[in-house]
Structure 1
């Protein structure tokens, strides 16, 4: 294959999957910088391995699997476990508990955009988003893939290398946890 056409093919595959990979990573790691780091590593793994895909579904499943694994690895790392508590105090400085942000503090363009977009959510939507963020990673992943990526149970099972019955169980447990938490907030 000609070098330029291979580069164009790689760029197209990355372009086709970048939004999905970022959304999935962000839903699992909950922080923009970490999600971007995961995405970067996904693309590096893709370029290093250069897998060939039988179909678009196979391609998508590969990227989901790699993203989920990298997110899990990030959460397992000792460095990450120590840094999360520090990041939470920084987050509280940026966004005090009353839901307003400190006007005296300088915000990056990305932080400002995220704060503005988050303020557009209704209280109910905000409650759902926060409840989903509280879910354990294995439940958050299936909720994200089912509702946000609109994948079927069978597609999720193939992507995560689970049986469909395991995916259904995780969805049911996640929904029950969300219902319970959202009931408490009402």
Structure 2
């Protein structure tokens, strides 16, 4: 793989990879590690893609797998809340990030890919290695949990 091709991939897809890593790990340091691992694999394997969507999906899949591997790691002890790592633009957004951060990872990653990255449920299923029905169910349950948490926060 040529250096220019790798640099272009990092510039184009780096922010997306980092956001997903940060959403799943809750740690800027871990997200940095995942980011580096993903692009190191990209350069070492030099996969040949026919479409940009395939490249993007491959990078997201590798990111999800690296995050999953990191979660099982002994070193995964110190985390930073997503709301602390990504500054909110306004008060409502900050509350939403805190509520999203409190959700279990399986809902958080599906919600992130759907709303932040704009993927359809079938694409999310392929990226995360889950069935499409499972993703739809997790998306529905994640929304319900988020809605209930939001209503609970407003009542306080």
TM-score per shorter chain, which class? Answer: 0.7 to 0.9
* Larger CA deviation: 143-152 vs 71-80: 71-80
Q: Who wins on radius of gyration, i.e. which is larger?
A: 1
Gaps of 5+ in 2: none
CA distance in 1, matches of 2:6, 2:123: 23
* Aligned residue number for residue 135 of structure 2: 167
Q: Normalised by the size of structure 1, how large is the TM-score?
A: 0.74
* Aligned residue number for residue 34 of structure 2: 38
| Structure 1 residue 135: Cα displacement | 1.5
1:36 alignment partner, SS class: helix
Equivalent residues in 2 for 1:86-101 (5 A)? none
Which one of the candidate residues 56, 60, 67 is aligned to 1:64?
60
CA distance in 1, matches of 2:53, 2:135: 18
Asked if 1 retains the 8 angstrom alpha-carbon contact of 2:124 and 2:135, the reply is: yes
Assess, with a 3 A threshold, how the Cα gap between structure 1 residues 156 and 56 changes in structure 2: closer, same or farther.
same
CA distance in 1, matches of 2:55, 2:133: 23
1:19 alignment partner, SS class: helix
* Aligned residue number for residue 140 of structure 1: 108
Please provide the CA RMSD for this pair: 2.1
CA distance in 2, matches of 1:30, 1:142: 15
Gaps of 5+ in 1: 92-110
Q: Normalised by the size of structure 2, how large is the TM-score?
A: 0.87
